[in-house]
Structure 1
Amino acid sequence: MGEEMLEETLANHRILSKIKPSVKLFNYIGDAPRIIASAGKQTLSPKEFSEIYGKMNKDKTMKWITELIRRGHGSPLEHSIYIFEITCSRVASHQLVRHRIASYTQLSQRYNDKYLRNMIMLAATKLGYENIEKNNIGEYMKILEETIDSSLSFWDMLEIIGEAFIVPPKIVKSNNREFLKQLLRSVKTYYSLINNGISYEDARFILPQAVKTRILVSMNARELLESFLPLRMCSHAQWEIRYIAWQLWRQLVKIHPEIFSYAGPRCVYMENRVRQQPCKLDEYINGKCEFIITRCPELVPREGIRKCINYASKDLWNSMGDEIIDT
């Protein structure tokens, strides 16, 4: 690969990172696995929790958590908390808050249009503007109109859009400029309404659901293991929240492999409930563990489950293909 092509590829990957959702694990109880294992043992032991906890070493922790997962004994898993921040579209945030055993704090769209302003500033730079006057709504509209009518490349347009919107993988794959222009037109209409005296809280109704938002989420290990990850890591989940779930799982398994190595889509959750000994997600993916269930909850037959999981784990923005699973 030539140097120029390499630079272009790296630039495109940088742009793709802007139009995708992101997840950042912010905080958690560091000793959660030991606490969970001790809580599990406490249900069977007459000893005080402090004594059980004091004698709970790493090997015993792994043994007890594995047993909790195998038996479906979920209440000890609730003695944990994981706090993470997600940047996503309003489409994904609406799905996210359906998980009720969690706490949410979301960026207000009534008072904050920072993402949109950042997009306009980048568009102005691409068009050669200098010294953009802050809060000049008329100038914002002019910049947006020029961007819509410009001959900027698809990737330049995508980079601009990525400041404020999540863009579906298929739109990127098809180089759909009209989709990007429609997003820009919606923002122009938004500022036109504001310029004509409409309040921010009313003007926002015109914005597409693709607009970015930030949301702080707190979940315990039980909600993650039994609900969020099984539902949202599945290949049948919507692509954006599926990407979020896999990114979150990759961060969780690094800090607490004792718990989250066994997490996965619903097929993995279902399989681990019927096996004599549960298997880790990686063991299913690499073939070290074979599925014994005849089909997954989404009716994918046993022989197609591994392929289905591999598809679900893909970053569709980077792989740009394989949209249809042949199971």
Structure 2
Amino acid sequence: MFGKVILTTTLKTGYYISNTARRDLILEISTDVEVFNTPRVLLVGSWGSEGLVSAFTDALYRGASWEEVLSAQTQELVERRIGAFYRQGHWSVFEFMGAQFIVECSRACHTQFIRHRLASYWSESQRYVDYTKRKIRFVVPVGFPEEPLRRAYEDYIKLREGFRPEYARMALPNAAAVLFAVQMNARELLLNFAPLRCAYTAQAEIRHVCWQMFAAAWRLWPVLAKLVWQDLPQLHRDFCTKVPRGEDCRLYAIKDAEEKHGPLPDKPWLAAAVAYGR
């Protein structure tokens, strides 16, 4: 699913073909406007690995040669060492693993996202992108009315008759989509970002993005991701806030995000969560 970029296409039938080859029903207001419910996340690169972190242990604590430590790594050894580092709170070693994503979400979601300053960002510029020449996109939850979005875009078009894009953009709402690149190391993604933004207390859109990124992290660093999955409710004191008693805080947060923004394309934690979907 991850690892290669597939260009997206909007069909005349009104369906959006995503990079995961699933179909998300969208609302076409005009040929220049696209409204969709599901924020889009694509893994475009990564660095480091759990095996590399394990190998560093031998090189830096035992003084072994690099060739020797690489040949000595086994899955059992990697799992034991990653688990030990995690349980001992020696989390700085996880900064030697990381990933780069392309994310498309609303301006409101983007504003929440960039508060996480330990990540690196490169964002679409509404100052330079002219939406009279390129299709404008809006990301909204299921059931959101179309009329305010139509009026906002019409106002933008009128303003562009006398103003440059950097001024006309002031008429655009927080629902306007932003495409941005983000880079995070594994510590920031799984032990800082996820406990805050995968929680039910986070707004549903950024929560949906967070769980998509968590799924990608699970595929990249399965040992660490599984350990974090088990402890998510304890990694931030508000993770289970507002979740009904008796519900699994993680699964409740996922279900709510999917109801508002569509199904997650990948859920590798299902095997670890037998009660999902109850």
Normalising by structure 1, report the TM-score: 0.63
Task: Give identity over the alignment, percent.
Answer: 29
Q: What's 1:316 paired with?
A: 259
Aligned alpha-carbon RMSD (Å): 3.0
SS for the counterpart of 2:138 is coil
Report what 1:180 is aligned to.
146
Aligned to 2:4: none
Following the alignment from structure 1 to structure 2, what is the Cα–Cα distance between the partners of residues 224 and 298? 16
Residue 68 of structure 1 is aligned with which of 75, 85, 89?
A: 85
- Cα distance in 2 for partners of 1:115, 1:79 equals 43
Q: Is the 8 Å Cα contact of residues 197 and 207 (structure 2) preserved in structure 1?
A: yes
Inter-CA distance 114–50: structure 2 relative to 1 (3 Å threshold):
farther
CA distance 1:265–1:116, change in 2 (3 Å)? farther
> Partners of 1:227 and 1:38 in 2: how far apart?
25
User: What is the CA distance between 1:46 and its match in structure 2?
Assistant: 3.8
Secondary structure of 1:229's partner? Answer: helix
Aligned residue for 2:245? 304
The alpha-carbon deviation at position 186 of structure 1 amounts to 1.0
Q: 1:309: Cα distance to partner? A: 1.7
Closer, same or farther: CA 28–233 of 1 in aligned 2, 3 Å: same
Residues 256 and 107 of structure 1: CA distance in aligned 2, closer, same or farther (over 3 Å)? same
Q: Identify, as 1 or 2, the structure richer in helix.
A: 1
Instruction: Tell me if 1:212 matches 2:177.
Output: yes
Aligned to 2:62: 45
- Asked if 1 retains the 8 angstrom alpha-carbon contact of 2:198 and 2:211, the reply is yes
Q: Which has the larger radius of gyration?
A: 1
Q: TM-score, normalised by structure 2?
A: 0.74
Displacement of 1:38:
2.6
1:20 aligns with 2:38: yes
- Is it true that 1:168 corresponds to 2:111 in the alignment? no
Q: Which residue of 2 aligns with 1:128?
A: none
Corresponding letter in the other structure for 2:92: S
Q: Which runs of 5+ in 2 are unaligned?
A: 1-12, 17-22, 28-34, 264-278
Task: Report the count of equivalent residues.
Answer: 234
Counterpart check, 1:263 vs 2:228: yes
- 1:110 equivalent to 2:51? Answer no
Q: Which blocks of at least 5 consecutive residues in structure 1 are unaligned?
A: 1-7, 120-163, 272-295, 320-327
Q: What is the 5 A alignment of 1:92-241?
A: 92-114=109-131, 117-118=134-135, 164-169=137-142, 172=143, 179-195=145-161, 197-241=162-206
The Cα shift of 1:97 comes to: 1.0
Q: Which one-letter code corresponds to 1:312 in the other structure? A: A
Q: Which has the higher strand share?
A: 2
Q: Secondary structure at the match of 1:262?
A: helix
State the shift of 1:268 in Å: 3.8
Alpha-carbon distance in 2 for matches of 1:205, 1:26:
31
Deviation (angstroms), 1:262: 2.3
